[in-house]
Amino acid sequence: MADFDQQELTEFTEAAAAWFKENTPHDVDFMLPLTFMEVGTDQQFNFLRDWQNKVYEAGYLGAHWPKEYGGGGRHRAFQDAATKIMAQERTPIMLNAIGLNWTGPLLIDRGSEDEKQKYIKGILSAETIWCQGFSEPEHGSDLGNAQTRAVKDGDEYIINGSKIWTTQGNYADYMILLARTNPDAENKYKGLSFFLAPMKNSGVETVPIKKLTGEYGFTQTFFTDARIPANCLMGNEGEGWLIAMQTLEYERGARSGQAGGHVMMMADPTDILGLAREAKLNGRPAIEDPAVQEELVALMTEARALGLNSRRDKIQPLAQDRPMSLALGSKLSSTDFYQRLNAFAISLQGTRAAYYVGDDSAHDNGIWQRGYLNSFSATIGGGTSQIQRNIIGEHVLGLPKS
């Protein structure tokens, strides 16, 4: 079945395991982001950029991407193995997520030869950082209504408008930008175009926004007569919506091709068992409370179902009743699950639930509290859970549009 040498894969996997054991930094004396959406300080940014570069140089990132653009040229199974080890070792995350997992596969699938030559290697090495300019202050879920303007002027486009919630906007070298080239198109979607826009450019300003956790991670991005070369246009004018939708499929995990490497450090659901044993409720270990047990079992059962769903999706006869169901459902089910898991974890802590990161009284230094607040990044970002339900209802269950 597999079109690669199993022996070679085994050796690769063993080497990767040894490499990550040896090289994973453990003595970091500042708080590392758990996800790519939480990179709030220069210290975190520089650290993660170096780390990604090191992993790439070792051959454990983009191992299956084409060699001619900087990838490893191997079978996908190799990268999957490396990614799995990173998650198991709980290594620091890969910084350049929007480049690695959305822009990169998009370029490989539909980019021009020039674009691939120009961008892929920098994405892998973290030399060039990417951000995504889709959402606007007035148009988030209704992305098709984006109003940021791009007007062609000779061999340039002039960009005006504002994007918001731009993850890593203040660090990015490039933005995948959805902008309106034709306000008079026959419908709102057809007036949109897709750009690979330089950020270190006059007329582009980023203003960091403080997140609910009090940290930073995203920006509002202002374009004021920002001029970008006309060849930043990807595809043709009017194809922006199509390309943006393909990008979102990568983002939501409904389409594959990502460079790999973990970009979100999820709580291990089994960690909550440790918490339930240590935390005290009414003077007894929380895990002795039957109501807690029942809820714990339900959560552990659900965690297993998420893992099983993704495996079942690969077993064709068990995944064909409603095509795309498991792929389109995974974002909704996993983000929602992690939110409830974190909330439940807080509920096990009695008065200790009141403490947050940085206080000695906090359980596990407030990791569950912080995790819960941050969990909304995934239930809102990338299309909210409500929008996911619309998508599944319409595209999987065939219900009429709302």
Partner 1 sequence: MSALDNARMAPRIGLSEEQAQLLDIAESFCRDKSPVDKVRALIEEEGGFDDAVWREIAELGWLGIGVPENYGGIGLGMGELVPLVEHMGRSLMNTPFVPTVLAAQALLRGGSEAQKEEFLPKLAAGSAASLAVCEDHADWNLENLTAAATRRNGKLVLSGKKYLVLHAAASDIVLASVALDGQAALIIIPADALEGRMTREKIIDDTQRAYALDLDGMALDEDHLLPMEMAADTLAHIEQMASLLLAADMCGGAFACIDYTLDYLKTRKQFGKLIGSYQSLKHTMVDAHQLYEKARSHLYSAAHVFGEQGEGEMAVHMAKAEAGEAFSFAADRAIQFHGGFGFTYDCDAQLYRRRAIMGCALHGDTRYHRRKIAELMF
Contact residue for ligand FAD among 12, 218, 338, 372 (CB under 6 A):
218
DSSP, residue by residue, 81-121: HHHHHHHHHTPPPPS-HIIIIIIHHHHHHH--HHHHHHHHH
Is residue 330 a contact residue for ligand FAD (CB under 6 A)?
A: no
Nearer to ligand FAD, 85 or 164 (CB): 164
Q: Check residue 390 for interaction with ligand FAD (CB under 6 A).
A: yes
Least spacing, CB of residue 297 vs partner 1, in Å? 4
| CA dist list (Å): 186 to 139, 146, 183, 192, 391 | 19, 15, 9, 11, 24
Q: How far is the CB of 9 from partner 1 (least distance, A)?
A: 16
Cβ-Cβ contacts under 8 Å for 169 (sequence gap 6 or more): 131, 163, 175, 199, 206, 208, 218, 219, 220, 221
**Binding at 141: pick from partner 1, ligand FAD, none (beta carbon under 5-8 Å per type):** ligand FAD
Contact residues toward partner 1 (CB under 8 A) are 83-84, 86-88, 253, 262, 265-270, 273, 287, 290, 293-294, 296-298, 300-312, 315, 317-318, 321-322, 325-326, 329-330, 332-334, 386, 389-390, 392-394, 396-402
Interface with ligand FAD includes 384 (CB under 6 A)?
yes
Please state the φ and ψ torsions of residue 82, each to the nearest 5 degrees. Answer: -65, -40
> What, of partner 1, ligand FAD, none, does residue 347 touch, CB below 5 to 8 Å by kind?
none
Is the separation of the CB atoms in 211 and 220 below 8 Å? no
Residue 165 as a binder of ligand FAD (CB under 6 A): the answer is: yes
Segment 113-132, which members bind ligand FAD (CB under 6 A)?
131-132
User: Does residue 219 belong to the site contacting ligand FAD (CB under 6 A)?
Assistant: no
- Least separation in angstroms between residue 305's CB and partner 1 is 4
> Which span sits near ligand FAD by CB under 6 A: 223-231, 320-328, 364-372, 380-388?
380-388
Q: Based on CB atoms, which residue is closest to ligand FAD, 213 or 349? A: 213
Cβ proximity of 55 and 61 under 8 Å: yes
Among 59, 191, 240, 381, binds ligand FAD (CB under 6 A): 381
Structure tokens at 276: 């339930």
Query: Which neighbouring-strand residues pair with 158?
Result: 151, 227
Residues 85, 314: Cα–Cα separation, whole Å: 21
In the block, residue with structure tokens 């409720």: 281
Nearer to ligand FAD, 221 or 369 (CB): 221
Q: Which of 60, 102, 119, 134 binds ligand FAD (CB under 6 A)?
A: 134
Pair of tokens at residue 374: 């941050």
**CA separation, residue 270 to residues 290, 368, 373 (Å):** 18, 13, 20
H or E stretch covering 327: helix 325-347
Place of tokens 């893992």: 307
Q: Which CB sits closer to ligand FAD, 52 or 374? A: 374
Between helix 325-347 and helix 367-380 the angle, nearest 10°, is 150
Amino acid at 24: T
166 binds, among ligand FAD, partner 1, none (CB under 5 to 8 A by kind): ligand FAD
Contact between 372 and ligand FAD by CB under 6 A: the answer reads: no
Q: Residue 297 or 354: which CB sits closer to partner 1?
A: 297
Helical pair 290-312 and 271-278, crossing angle rounded to 10 deg = 170
Contact call for residue 140 and ligand FAD (CB under 6 A): yes
Q: Where do contacts with ligand FAD occur on this chain (CB under 6 A)? A: 37, 131-135, 140-141, 165-167, 218, 377, 380-384, 386-387, 390, 402
